[in-house]
């Protein structure tokens, strides 16, 4: 089918597509049009990577807009939202507007209402629906990109529920669901009442194989010996591809590995460059350096000068775009990437190497193989239509057994089926509360009816299971005071509304509330780890508030003993404020915090710490004899200790070494703790628990990474933890001090950087922030330069400066 034959699109669009080199529809695209994608029909397109799914989505959205509606495009990753929006902006010349919503959790619903196409993640859409965005009702078309991700245990349920909610809320909503090739696309289509386009057509042939020894063993039974035979397997393949004037994409399992591989492969790519290419690459490298002055930026530029690059979600968007463009222009000859690239960005290459087929999985506590679907998506990036005769994708085997294993596991394997993960309790807790709190379902009957519209319900052989889990979850929400029910009508309590808006797992909220109440309870001396745990285990105390719904059900079936009394204590005894460690431990115990793992020796170490600081820990502790719960308790304590060290101004390098983590992990923990402590503060306020001040202070200390005495100073923009410490040590202890400080002292504390000193004084509201003619105080400067870290000045400008 020719593009010119398309109808129902805004004027000029078919010609525009032709101008972009799209004259004839690819077969799956033609099938989608025949299935009615331009007439408002719902379509599920399950086709291989790089087979033109985006155009199918665009046809659906553009025709919906032409009919007077608006469209929503749901992306799987925040990092892709901007890229997708930019792609759609090519159509703005035909009178439509594109908006992107990536903000964290706040509602920017009004601003979005004016757009014809909105691009957002499913979490964002879920949050917009919760916060009452009206424009949702005007939607005509919703696109779910990478819909097979409903299979993802952590994020899938939100996508699934969001789609189900949108479909229930908007009558006749057109759903265009794009999926990689999966084993059961028909089930997804049934669930969405959509036509199915299921195809394995590719615009270019693909050979797949496994490299072992000196040869690649291909799926058609042939073998090809690679010349080169030098260094590593990866380098040998890259060298062989270069000899054929081709480029290579190497998939690895972590950012750090991507950077290291790019560094090594730069030696190989460098040899293939001529003088002109070197000049052009130098220009690209300069642009990359100009994007930001971080070490990552420099490392990337260094590799690019030699024709290699790395690509991962930690790069700035301009970095990624510069790399992608230079790779498409065949200047960069090899890119080492994390799988983000496979998911969304169009960067075909002559050869693809899947170097790492396993990845560290925290929930499994070790390395886990990638799914067939993920590996096939990476394979799909091989071969540039019109340029290469075919694409080649290879895995790497270290021995003969692995060669066979990889063939069975990935080359001959059928794609995995997609299975809903909705019946998992954490997902249901969150979504059931949201459904009730937003008034989306006001009765139990309506709730079950809604859940009946999910993929889970469509797939399960045991329809009662979802109902039972949902009932357990409701009972859990009721027991924790988030929802009230009279047996049929459901209503969220004030706390329930707050929890839903805070976007925390209700179990996290219950854990927080329980801990905060414990903190506010008069101390009785009866709260030692062992005694408290014993009391709770016996009493089955429902007020403990962080049982699983399953535990709750067991308890209801076997009537509980004395309720709660063990925790009440003596009302007249004095209460002590919770300590930062106690609060960090509390937030680290919630399911929203990804805990640190215990390594060998940690069990003893943190058990000792648990006893040493037991009076600070909040809520009911397990006993040492409850293995799994006790380990959880200790993992949370390890996480809490990291946070406490961070808030005691320990250097990031030391932290990384002490806890065996990377800078990104520390940042992740700090940000999550900040967010959960914010939730705790709001909950404490709403429940009148008198420790909101202590919570706020603990939160500020985590946010800035400083001890208590620096809180005031570190809150000034551009000061940050290290400069605050230097100022403090030089006698400038507060904002007021800073406003009246000797300028020479301030200048000394920022190592003589006038511009920085000036900015800081401006930010603190100094009447005359000028530093002309001021000299740094020599004694302050001397003590600062002796303080070790001399390279950090560019880095420590923000509160999270250590990470930038
Ligand atoms: P997918 O989303 O399936 O991975 P894309 O939508 O990114 O694939 O398409 C891959 C490439 O194919 C894009 O560069 C796109 O412009 C191009 N393309 C899509 N449809 C056609 C077509 N009908 N004719 C020529 N090129 C096309």
- Could you report the per-residue pLDDT of 541-564, keeping only the tens digit for each? 333 344 444 444 444 444 433 333
Among protein residues, the one with the nearest Cα to ligand 1's atom 14 is 346
% of the chain beyond a pLDDT of 90: 55
Please report, in angstroms and rounded to a whole number, the separation of the first and last CA atoms in the chain.
50
- Ligand 1 mean position, distance from CA 50 (Å): 6
Ligand 1: atom nearest CA of 21 is: 25
- Ligand 1 mean position, distance from CA 465 (Å): 41
Sheet with 43-46, strands from edge to edge, namely 98-101, 117-121, 70-75, 139-144, 174-179, 43-46, 195-198
- Could you report the per-residue pLDDT of 41-71, keeping only the tens digit for each? 999 999 988 889 999 999 999 999 999 999 9
Among protein residues, the one with the nearest Cα to ligand 1's atom 15 is 52
Least confident of 211-225, 255-269, 784-798: 784-798
- Ligand 1 mean position, distance from CA 323 (Å): 20
Task: Using most ligand atoms within 8 A of CB, pick from 54, 145, 200, 345 the residue to mutate for ligand 1.
Answer: 54
Mean pLDDT across 69-87 = 88
State residue 799's pLDDT score: 33
Mean pLDDT across 366-382 = 88
Mean pLDDT across 91-106 = 79
CA distance 307 to 245: 13
Of the candidates 265, 209, 251, the residue with the CA atom closest to the CA atom of residue 391? 209
Question: How wide is the angle at C-alpha 103 spanned by C-alphas 99 and 105, nearest 5°?
Answer: 125
Among protein residues, the one with the nearest Cα to ligand 1's atom 26 is 22
Q: Kindly indicate the confidence band of residue 570, based on its pLDDT and cuts at 50, 70 and 90.
A: very low
pLDDT over threshold 50, residue 33: yes
State residue 545's pLDDT score: 41
pLDDT over threshold 90, residue 153: no
Burial of 309 (0-12, 13-18, 19+ CB in 10 A): buried
pLDDT over threshold 50, residue 341: yes
Give DSSP secondary structure letters for 291-304: H--SHHHHHHHHHH
- Could you report the per-residue pLDDT of 401-418, keeping only the tens digit for each? 999 999 999 999 988 899
- Ligand 1 mean position, distance from CA 494 (Å): 49
pLDDT over threshold 60, residue 128: yes
The pair of three-digit structure tokens given for residue 439, joined into one six-digit string: 């008034």
pLDDT over threshold 60, residue 106: no
CA distance 124 to 121: 5
Among 30-44, 226-240, 426-440, 443-457, the range of highest mean pLDDT: 30-44
- Ligand 1 mean position, distance from CA 64 (Å): 21
The pair of three-digit structure tokens given for residue 511, joined into one six-digit string: 């854990």
Question: Do residues 324 and 300 make contact, with C-beta atoms less than 8 angstroms apart?
Answer: no
DSSP state of 416: P
Question: Do residues 688 and 749 make contact, with C-beta atoms less than 8 angstroms apart?
Answer: no
Of the candidates 680, 660, 504, the residue with the CA atom closest to the CA atom of residue 596? 660
Ligand 1: atom nearest CA of 26 is: 23
Question: Do residues 351 and 250 make contact, with C-beta atoms less than 8 angstroms apart?
Answer: no
Q: Please give the C-alpha separations between residue 151 and each of 219, 443, 503, in angstroms, as whole numbers.
A: 28, 28, 21
Ligand 1: atom nearest CA of 25 is: 23
Q: Return the SS3 of 44.
A: strand
pLDDT over threshold 70, residue 797: no
| Residues within 6 Å of ligand 1 by CB | 21-22, 24-26, 29, 49-55, 346
Among protein residues, the one with the nearest Cα to ligand 1's atom 5 is 52
Give DSSP secondary structure letters for 152-218: -TTTHHHHHHHHHHHHHHSTT-EEEEEE-S-TTHHHHHHHTT-EEEE----SS-EEEEEEETTEEEE
Least confident of 139-153, 601-615, 767-781: 767-781
- Ligand 1 mean position, distance from CA 74 (Å): 19
State residue 619's pLDDT score: 86
State residue 546's pLDDT score: 43
Q: Kindly indicate the confidence band of residue 785, based on its pLDDT and cuts at 50, 70 and 90.
A: low
Q: Kindly indicate the confidence band of residue 600, based on its pLDDT and cuts at 50, 70 and 90.
A: confident
pLDDT over threshold 80, residue 354: yes
Mean pLDDT across 65-79 = 90
- Ligand 1 mean position, distance from CA 49 (Å): 9
Ligand 1: atom nearest CA of 23 is: 24
CA distance 723 to 739: 15
Ligand 1: atom nearest CA of 54 is: 6
- Ligand 1 mean position, distance from CA 59 (Å): 13
Q: Kindly indicate the confidence band of residue 662, based on its pLDDT and cuts at 50, 70 and 90.
A: low
- Ligand 1 mean position, distance from CA 791 (Å): 46
- Ligand 1 mean position, distance from CA 387 (Å): 14
Helix (H) or strand (E) holding 86: helix 78-88
Task: Using most ligand atoms within 8 A of CB, pick from 52, 348, 384 the residue to mutate for ligand 1.
Answer: 52
- Ligand 1 mean position, distance from CA 140 (Å): 24
Mean pLDDT across 169-198 = 94
- Could you report the per-residue pLDDT of 626-651, keeping only the tens digit for each? 888 899 999 999 999 999 999 999 98
State residue 563's pLDDT score: 39
pLDDT over threshold 80, residue 711: yes
Ligand 1: atom nearest CA of 203 is: 12
- Ligand 1 mean position, distance from CA 222 (Å): 30
pLDDT over threshold 90, residue 539: no
Of 181 and 90, more confident: 90
Among protein residues, the one with the nearest Cα to ligand 1's atom 22 is 22
pLDDT over threshold 90, residue 787: no
Q: Any residues with CB less than 8 A from the CB of 435 and at least 6 apart, and which? A: 165, 441, 447, 450
Helix (H) or strand (E) holding 82: helix 78-88
Among protein residues, the one with the nearest Cα to ligand 1's atom 19 is 52
CA distance 274 to 307: 11
Task: Using most ligand atoms within 8 A of CB, pick from 55, 146, 328, 340 the residue to mutate for ligand 1.
Answer: 55
Ligand 1: atom nearest CA of 380 is: 4
% of the chain beyond a pLDDT of 70: 87
Residues in the chain, overall count: 804
Mean pLDDT across 708-734 = 92
Question: Do residues 334 and 269 make contact, with C-beta atoms less than 8 angstroms apart?
Answer: yes
CA distance 779 to 291: 37
- Could you report the per-residue pLDDT of 460-493, keeping only the tens digit for each? 888 788 888 889 999 999 999 999 999 889 999 9
Q: What is the mean pLDDT of the chain?
A: 85
Half-sphere exposure of 347 (CA within 13 A, CB side): 32
Mean pLDDT across 377-389 = 86
State residue 136's pLDDT score: 87
Of 571 and 496, more confident: 496
State residue 362's pLDDT score: 61
State residue 134's pLDDT score: 81
State residue 345's pLDDT score: 67
The pair of three-digit structure tokens given for residue 184, joined into one six-digit string: 């059961």
Q: Is 603 left (phi over 0), alpha (psi -120 to 50) or beta?
A: alpha
CB neighbour burial string for 218-241, b if at least 16 within 10 angstroms, e if fewer: beeeeeeebebeeeebbbbbbbbb
Among protein residues, the one with the nearest Cα to ligand 1's atom 2 is 53
State residue 753's pLDDT score: 85
pTM over 0.95: no
State residue 606's pLDDT score: 95
Mean pLDDT across 288-302 = 85
Give DSSP secondary structure letters for 638-707: HHHHHHHHHTTT--HHHHHHHHT--HHHHHHHHHHHHHHHHHHHHHHHHTT-TTHHHHHHHHHHHHHT--
CA distance 713 to 709: 8
Q: Please give the C-alpha separations between residue 731 and each of 735, 741, 780, 798, in angstroms, as whole numbers.
A: 12, 9, 10, 21
CA distance 698 to 671: 13
CA torsion through residues 739, 743, 745, 751, sign: positive
């Amino acid at each position: 089918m020719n593009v010119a034959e398309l109808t129902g699109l805004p004027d000029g669009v078919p010609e525009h597509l032709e101008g972009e080199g799209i004259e004839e529809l690819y077969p799956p695209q033609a099938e989608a049009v025949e299935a009615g994608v331009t007439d408002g029909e719902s379509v599920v397109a399950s086709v291989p990577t790089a087979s033109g799914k985006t155009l199918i989505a665009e046809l659906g959205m553009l025709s919906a807009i032409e009919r007077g509606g608006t469209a929503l495009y749901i992306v799987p990753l925040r990092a892709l939202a901007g890229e997708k929006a930019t792609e759609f902006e090519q159509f703005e010349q035909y009178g439509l507007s594109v908006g992107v919503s990536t903000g964290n959790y706040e509602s920017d619903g009004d601003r979005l209402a004016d757009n014809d196409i909105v691009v957002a993640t499913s979490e964002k859409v879920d949050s917009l629906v919760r916060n009452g965005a009206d424009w949702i009702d005007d939607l005509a078309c919703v696109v779910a990109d990478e819909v097979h991700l409903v299979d993802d245990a952590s994020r899938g349920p939100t996508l699934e529920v969001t789609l189900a909610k949108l479909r229930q809320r908007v009558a006749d909503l057109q759903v265009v669901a794009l999926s990689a090739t999966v084993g059961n696309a028909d089930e997804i289509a049934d669930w969405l009442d959509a036509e199915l386009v299921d195809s394995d057509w590719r615009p270019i042939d693909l050979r797949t194989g496994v490299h072992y020894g000196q040869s690649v063993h291909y799926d058609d039974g042939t073998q090809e010996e690679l010349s080169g035979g030098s260094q590593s397997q990866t380098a040998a393949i890259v060298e062989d591809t270069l000899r054929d004037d081709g480029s290579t994409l190497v998939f690895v399992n972590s950012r750090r590995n991507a950077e290291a591989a790019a560094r090594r492969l730069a030696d190989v790519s460098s040899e293939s460059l001529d003088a002109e290419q070197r000049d052009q690459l130098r220009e690209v490298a300069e642009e990359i350096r100009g994007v930001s002055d971080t070490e990552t930026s420099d490392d990337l530029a260094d590799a690019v000068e030699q024709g290699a690059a790395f690509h991962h979600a930690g790069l700035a968007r301009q970095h990624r775009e510069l790399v992608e463009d230079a790779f498409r222009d065949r200047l960069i000859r090899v890119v080492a990437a994390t799988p983000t690239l496979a998911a969304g960005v169009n960067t075909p290459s002559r050869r693809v190497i899947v170097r790492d087929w396993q990845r560290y999985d925290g929930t499994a506590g070790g390395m886990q193989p990638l799914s067939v679907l993920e590996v096939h998506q990476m394979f799909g990036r091989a071969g540039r239509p019109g340029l290469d005769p075919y694409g080649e994708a290879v895995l790497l085997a270290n021995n003969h057994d692995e060669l066979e294993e990889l063939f069975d596991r990935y080359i001959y394997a059928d794609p995995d089926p997609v299975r809903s993960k909705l019946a998992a309790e954490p997902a249901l807790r969150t979504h059931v509360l949201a459904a009730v709190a937003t008034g989306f379902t006001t009765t139990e009957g309506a709730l079950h009816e809604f859940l009946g519209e999910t993929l889970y319900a469509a797939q399960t052989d045991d329809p009662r299971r979802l109902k039972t889990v949902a009932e357990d979850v409701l009972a859990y929400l009721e027991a924790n005071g988030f929802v009230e029910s009279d047996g049929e009508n459901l209503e969220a309590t004030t706390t329930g509304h707050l929890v839903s808006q805070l976007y925390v797992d209700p179990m996290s909220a219950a854990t927080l509330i329980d801990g905060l109440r414990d903190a506010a309870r008069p101390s009785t001396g009866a709260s030692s780890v062992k005694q408290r745990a014993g009391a709770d285990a016996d009493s089955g105390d429902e007020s403990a508030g962080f049982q699983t719904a399953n535990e709750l059900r067991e308890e209801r079936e076997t009537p509980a003993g004395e309720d709660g009394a063990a925790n009440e204590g003596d009302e007249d005894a004095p209460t002590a404020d919770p300590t930062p460690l106690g609060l960090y431990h509390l937030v680290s115990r919630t399911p929203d915090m990804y805990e640190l793992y215990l390594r060998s020796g940690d069990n003893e170490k943190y058990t000792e710490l648990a006893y040493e600081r037991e009076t600070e820990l909040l809520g009911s502790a397990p006993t040492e004899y409850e293995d799994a719960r006790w380990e959880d308790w200790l993992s949370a304590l390890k996480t809490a200790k990291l946070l406490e060290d961070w808030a005691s101004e320990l250097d990031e390098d030391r932290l990384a070494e002490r806890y065996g983590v990377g800078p990104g992990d520390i940042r992740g923990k700090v940000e999550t703790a900040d967010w959960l402590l914010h939730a705790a503060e709001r909950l404490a306020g709403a429940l009148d628990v008198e420790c909101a001040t202590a919570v706020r202070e603990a939160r500020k200390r985590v946010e800035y990474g400083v001890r208590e005495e620096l809180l005031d100073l570190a809150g000034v923009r551009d000061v940050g933890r290290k400069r605050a410490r230097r100022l403090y040590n030089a006698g400038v202890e507060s904002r007021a001090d800073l406003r009246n400080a000797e300028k020479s002292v301030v200048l000394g504390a920022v190592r003589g950087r006038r511009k920085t000193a000036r900015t800081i004084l401006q930010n603190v509201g100094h009447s005359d922030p000028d530093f002309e003619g001021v000299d740094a105080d020599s004694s302050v400067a001397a003590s600062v330069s002796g303080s070790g870290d001399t390279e950090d000045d560019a880095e420590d400008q923000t509160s999270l400066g250590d990470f930038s």
